[in-house]
Structure 1
Amino acid sequence: MITTWLVIGTAAFGGGFAFNKLFPSDYKWFMRLRRPRWLTFEKAIPFIWIFIFICGITSAAALWEAQPSTFSTWLIMASYAIVEFAILSYTPVMTRLRNVRAGVFSGAIGFILGLVLTTQVWQISSLAGWLLMPYLLWSPIGTYVTWVMVRLNPTNQ
């Protein structure tokens, strides 16, 4: 399991690093946007995402251990990568377009893809399915925060 986890973790980290280099974001623009007053936990968000990615990597490793090297497992591994890139696309899509509403759509698409992945994974390993739950719980919260930001930043829609 450790070797599987390390291989999948390295692939996820490498893919995320490459994605961020290929699609840089305008964080200064993003940081100037107005946020809801109740968003008091913004400093915790990077740690929440780290936890979610660790759970996702562990989920993929558990799935691989449950059903190694089959064609369907390879397809599901590709689905994990698609969900990761959907998650990572949120900031570059929104900041490059300078459109907060694009962030809402990106977040919603990521949630839908995560939900589809979870239904497929759960059929093979309930542990792997449970490990995707933090993402399915957090994603609507992040998407809702972005949706509220659309109304707070009407010139950036």
Structure 2
Amino acid sequence: MIPSWIIIGAVTLFIALGSFLITPRDVKWFARLSRPRWLVFEPLIPLIWTVIFISGVASATIVWEKNLGSLITWLLMALYLLVEIITVAYIPIMLRFRSLKVGEILGLIGLISGVVLAICVLPISGLATLLLLPYLVWTPIGTYTTDELRELNPQDA
């Protein structure tokens, strides 16, 4: 039997590949936007998201292993999946629509979904909930950064 963490990791990787929907034309739009002076950590963002996704896989694996195959577990896996889809959709959709407002809305939806997920996971495993903290800390930072980009680039809001 294939270990659950491999299956959960493979699903996560497959969904994350959705970020390849970004076209060079879309990237050029984003690259020309003015950025806040304090945005010095931008080169670290891919590493930050890698840590967040790995933590999410570990969290989902713990939840799955605690209550194999129950309806609640399947519903939680669907919620993990929803959070990941919203997260991965943020960049391609924002770039495709060339709208920072769309990105900000997706960031807020992702944050709310992440908080709901953490609340639902808490009774099952404190560790699984702690592993969601990187997402819950980073998502407001990303959403705030998008809001700052909107203020610096009102023509692209």
What range is the shorter-chain TM-score in? Answer: over 0.9
Superposition pairs of residues 34-113 of structure 1, within 5 angstroms: 34-113=34-113
What's the offset of the Cα at 1:98?
0.7
1:99 & 1:139 partners in 2: Cα distance?
18
Gaps of 5+ in 2: none
Distance 1:15 1:90 in 2: 13
For normalisation by structure 2, the TM-score amounts to 0.94
The one of 17, 22, 25 equivalent to 1:24 is 22
Give the count of matched residue pairs: 154
For the residue of structure 1 that corresponds to 2:3, the secondary structure is: helix
**Whole-Å separation in 2 of the counterparts to 1:38 and 1:104:** 18
How far apart, CA to CA, are the structure 1 residues paired with 2:41 and 2:16?
Answer: 24
Aligned-partner Cα distance in 1 for 2:68–2:31: 43
1:94-142 Cα deviation digits (max 9, x unpaired)? 1111111111111011000000011001111111111001100110001
Distance 2:70 2:146 in 1: 39
Q: Any idea what SS the aligned residue of 2:38 has? A: coil
Shift of 1:24: 3.1
- Aligned amino acid, residue 19 of structure 2: N
SS at match of 1:36: coil
TM-score, length-scaled by structure 1 = 0.94
Q: Which runs of 4+ in 1 moved over 4 A?
A: none
Following superposition of structure 1 onto structure 2, how do residues 119-130 of structure 1 map, counting pairs within 5 Å? 119-130=119-130
The alignment yields a C-alpha RMSD, in angstroms, of 1.3
Residue identity matched to 1:8:
I
CA deviation vs aligned residue, 1:23-58 (integer Å, no higher than 9, x gap): 435222111111100111110111000000000000
Identity of aligned residues (%): 45
Residue of structure 2 equivalent to 1:134: 134
Amino acid at match of 1:102: V
Q: Is the 8 A contact 2:19 2:91 kept in 1?
A: no
